[in-house]
């Protein structure tokens, strides 16, 4: 199967062309339909998945049975866990939100490739560091700046990942319900409804045809004490 490589973001942007071809050589391509799951929380973490096409979200189930959305993955992202423990299991689930094509990488094959090529191993370490920093900044937003700060940070991340600039501001080219946004910041739908209504009153955001447009991104940055992280970190 011929697949066009999406490499504009995530892991794909870190790799050199030579390293990417080496990695592609140990993949097999798999098509996954919207609504399916690549892996469930608790499954053996013996594979990684490189996204060529489509969108996949990482979710975590809380003790109360609620599903929380941690990441929205897109072209060029690598999904999975690479740990030193042989019997490690996935701490999240990966749900397909848009028909996708992924490259499946067996952990044992990857370990052999990293042992053979030190430059690829270095690039892989950079990806792991990027993912750790991304996770840290998300938890920082949730823990230090409350639900309003977390929502403002979420809107900024959506602008960086799916934003299109126009005369009004930055239009987020991804349809999300208030419930889905609530799952991304660990809040209730009612709380998100109220906070979004307040932002609309301040003309910070507008909503039209199922899409949000951020009119005053500096206002959002002030609320969440934005540290102006690079877009590779400040993303979904």
pLDDT, tens digit (0-9, with 9 covering 90-100), for 58-112: 999 877 778 889 899 999 999 988 776 667 888 899 999 999 999 999 999 999 9
CA–CA distances in Å: residue 113 to residues 25, 37, 51, 84, 169: 10, 27, 19, 16, 45
Which pTM was predicted?
0.87
Domains and CATH numbers, the chain: 17-116 (2.60.120.10), 137-224 (1.10.10.10)
Q: Pull the structure tokens for residue 167.
A: 């005369």
**Residues 121-125, mean pLDDT to the nearest whole number:** 91
pLDDT, tens digit (0-9, with 9 covering 90-100), for 146-169: 899 999 999 999 999 999 999 889
Is pLDDT of 14 > 50? yes
List of residues 6+ apart from 15 with CB closer than 8 A? 7, 23, 120, 123
């Amino acid at each position: 199967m011929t697949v066009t490589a999406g490499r504009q973001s995530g892991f794909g942007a870190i790799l050199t062309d030579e390293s990417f071809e080496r990695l592609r050589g140990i993949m097999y391509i798999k098509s996954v339909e919207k609504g399916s799951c690549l892996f469930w929380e608790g499954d053996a973490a013996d594979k990684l998945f490189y996204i060529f096409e489509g969108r996949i979200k990482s979710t975590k189930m809380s003790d109360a049975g609620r599903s929380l959305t941690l990441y929205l993955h897109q072209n060029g992202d690598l999904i999975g866990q690479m740990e030193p423990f042989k019997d490690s299991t996935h701490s999240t689930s990966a749900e397909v939100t848009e028909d996708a094509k992924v490259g499946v990488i067996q952990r044992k094959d990857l370990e052999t490739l990293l042992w053979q090529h030190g430059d690829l191993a270095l690039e892989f370490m950079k990806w792991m560091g990027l993912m750790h920093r991304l996770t840290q900044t998300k938890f920082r937003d949730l823990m230090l700046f409350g639900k309003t700060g977390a929502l403002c940070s979420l809107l900024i991340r959506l602008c960086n990942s799916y934003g299109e600039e126009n005369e009004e501001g930055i239009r987020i080219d991804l349809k999300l319900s208030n419930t889905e946004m609530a799952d991304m910041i660990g809040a209730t739908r009612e709380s998100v409804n109220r906070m979004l209504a307040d932002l609309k009153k301040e003309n910070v955001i507008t909503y039209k045809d199922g899409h949000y447009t951020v009119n005053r991104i500096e206002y959002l940055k002030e609320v969440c004490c934005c540290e102006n992280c690079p877009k590779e970190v400040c993303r979904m």
